[in-house]
Amino acid sequence: MTPREAAEQLLRDLRADLTQVHELRDLLEQQYQCALRHDAGALQTLGERIVACVEVMEGRRERRVALAQRLAGPQARMEAVFPRLGQGWGRTGQSWWLRLEALVRDCKAANQRNCALLAEQHTLMQGLLQPQGDLYAPA
């Protein structure tokens, strides 16, 4: 793969991730709403869709790391790649990268929120199903 082909692939992957990260964010919001409604069936389906989405994005992330190393050296970070792409591609890539980073942080926050809600619901249900002490003892 030539450096030009590597740069083109890198930009295609960034653009694809920018599209897919919005899908992931929507799925996480749906998951939250289903958790609030205690819709276990929908949660199962959404969980599978979220995992599939993340796996595809992870594959592109791994390729992005390899492409960055090809373009800027073995220890290169994305920030080191963009100046090597020239004015147009470099500016576009850096802009997409910064947007992707922000959206991924948003997805991580949404995932943490969802996990906290589900953990709280689980704890409450465990307390109701397996009461400790004399919760139901006569007064």
Mind listing the pLDDT tens digit for each residue in 56-80? 999 999 999 999 999 998 888 898 9
Under 8 Å between Cβ of 10 and 68: yes
pLDDT of residue 131: 65
CATH of domain 3-129: 1.20.58
pLDDT at 134 over 70: no
pLDDT of residue 118: 87
Domain spans of the chain? 3-129
- Mean pLDDT to the nearest integer, 84-93: 92
CA gap 82, 71 in Å, rounded = 9
Counting residues of the chain whose pLDDT is more than 90, the rounded percentage is 73
Tokens of 5: 């082909």
CA gap 66, 70 in Å, rounded = 6
User: What is the pTM assigned to this prediction?
Assistant: 0.83
